[in-house]
Amino acid sequence: MFHQIEDGVEWRGSHQVVRAQAWGADSIRVRAGLSVVREDLPGALDAPPPADPGSVRIRVDEEGAELASGSLVLRITPEGMLTFLRTGADGRQEELLAEERAHFWWPGPRAYTSTGNGYYRIEQRFRAYEDEKVFGLGQHTHGLFDQKGAVIDLVQRNAEVTIPFMVSSRGYGLLWNSPAVGRVELSANGTRWVSDSARQIDYWVTTGDGPADVLEHYADATGHAPMLPEYASGFWQCKLRYRTQDELMEVAREYKRRGLPLSVIVSDFFHWTHLGDWKFDPAEWPDPEGMVKELRSMGVELMVSVWPSVSPLSENYGTMLARGHLVATEQGPPVHADWADKGVDAQIQVSFYDPTNPDARAFVWDRVRENYHSLGIRLWWLDACEPELKPGHSGNLRYHAGPGLEVGNIYPAENARAFHEGMRAAGEQEILTLCRSAWAGSQRHGAALWSGDIAPTFASLRAQIRAGLHTAMSGIPWWTTDIGGFHGGDQESPEYRELLVRWFQYGVFCPLFRLHGYREPFSHDLYPSMSGGPNEVWSYGEEVYELLREMLFLRERLRPYVMEQMRAAHERGLPPMRPLFVDFPGDARAWEVGDQFLFGPDVLVAPVTEYGARSRKVYLPEGSGWTDPWTGDVHPGGTEILLDAPLDRVPVLLRKGADVPVRP
């Protein structure tokens, strides 16, 4: 039944094989399949991170097998049942996670139902724990903080981002190391991971003294984020869309004329000649190199939107089709969505390139290098990178890496990889892409995530807070939202103006500080008039402008502190924005508060998310006193207070003794 392998053990029974290996500090990887365990399937885990010498211990006897990696212990019974335990400082062991059979007869904890040709609908079952809370699993709009009881689809969609890594209040993290389409069911009678069509089970479990250790181990296993470029810690200006070079430059010059801080401005979609040409249209952008130079002289970087879709009108379409650089389909032509393009009056059928193909990644980067990077551009907006399928039939897709159902979720990570590899080859050291989707390991490619096309409402703002915290617990430290929401927003509405102020107060303390949106009035014509109303800080009236202006300078004062937190994210995998329980794991109440967060160790942020509210309840974690920077009042930890929050005051508190320049 058992035999020892390097840093691990294998169990075989009937046609099943289970391979368990130590995989980094306090971490174990498990793979299971029928007859064989494959080494050639895509995932987020590469070589095992180094572990302390002597931390791996293996025992095999008549009672079963035991594999220990530091404090994490895996026991396997002769029947092949797995239980994970943690050894405490006192030597006592406590159960973290255990497999559980679906039925006493059949199936067991692992089930393989054939979908044909060596592929299976795969299930992996674990025991349910009444006291367990679950965080992470990507970015979602459900508005939940504790996701226990939820069913989370494992599929990429606009604003629904699949990163199959969860952090449990029981003291472990689990990565489902499969990019297959499926779901995870976090039900009261068991947890079940499902892949709709795949060839084997692959997951990784880690533990530590608290959630911070779990996140650090995850970064060690899947890759640390690079150091954030310093320029990216400032304010980003964007709207849908600046139609010409003159429009964009007029806005950038106005920021400088007003003496306002500005770090990044964006050239969004339709700046191109055709979708998939990946170059500026000279009729609308006659001197992009000169534009980049003038912006940089003002201390502003230009970000350009680079979509992964290719129109049949593109000069690159024929070559990419002939070379197999486009995602293939099992049935029908390689067409994946309908979209508008220049030179036609109706939407046309477009294709997506295949970033799982290294030759396709190299081809796309070569076009981007020649047409953008050579002009001095170094910042990339990777929009629509789920990819944005219409309809979303993953089962009809065939990638270089495998069938769509088995590998489809990896697309955004491989797309970011194309730009990371290309920038590194070009000698660039500061690499940042802004992506609408991500997967496990995206952070190692310099990928920042934003929360997609969201509503301009207070309810949406409330949901963003939890979405950002789950993203942080999924190993993505660089994150942002469209301040004010994306789909609409009336500049003349008193409620929307207040929403914008409150969202700005939240955005100041997000890892990236970025204004974007498709404001009213807007045209539904895709080209050329599609642009939306004004979306600059002076677009919402003088009263709002003065408030937003103050927050721009607040972010400027915070930038050294922001970069300190980005250093911690780079070195330790500790996200700047994080739930209270990451820093206060021993405070039971901290595991329940999902409408506040810590920005670094010293700033407690309590966004106001109700129209007309001028105060809100705030829980102060145990273990520290908390100072109101506006009044100087000091409040004890472990208490709840009613915090005054007038519209001109950012609702934050500082850890007692911290020197963070919130006030001018």
Distance CA 411, CA 87 (A): 38
| Other beta carbons less than 10 A from residue 470's beta carbon | 29
Among 7, 383, 406, 482, the one annotated catalytic: 383
DSSP 94-127: EEEEEB--SSSSS--SEEEEEEETTEEEEEEEE-
Distance CA 554, CA 635 (A): 23
Helix axes 211-222 and 542-572, enclosed angle (nearest 10)? 70
**Helix H or strand E encompassing 480:** strand 479-480
Buried b vs exposed e over 601-633: b needs ≥16 C-beta within 10 Å? bbbbbbbbbeeeeeebebbbbbebebbbbbeee
Whether residue 595 lies in the annotated active site? no
| Other beta carbons less than 10 A from residue 27's beta carbon | 28
Helix axes 494-507 and 458-472, enclosed angle (nearest 10)? 10
Distance CA 622, CA 626 (A): 10
Distance CA 592, CA 60 (A): 41
Helix residue spans in 399-493 (DSSP H): 404-407, 411-425, 458-472
> Helix (H, G, I), strand (E, B), or coil: what is residue 543?
helix
Residue type, 380: W
Among 386, 388, 406, 498, the one annotated catalytic: 386
Helix residue spans in 227-287 (DSSP H): 245-257
CB 573 within 8 A of CB 587: no
Task: Categorise residue 553: left if φ over 0, alpha if ψ from -120 to 50, beta otherwise.
Answer: alpha
Whether residue 386 lies in the annotated active site? yes
C-alpha triplet 407, 173, 479: angle, nearest 5° = 70
Whether residue 453 lies in the annotated active site? yes
CB 197 within 8 A of CB 120: yes
Distance CA 463, CA 457 (A): 10
DSSP 141-174: SS--SS-TT-EEEES-BTTBB---EEEETTSEEE
Q: Beta partners for 652?
A: 605
| Catalytic residue annotation | 383, 386, 453
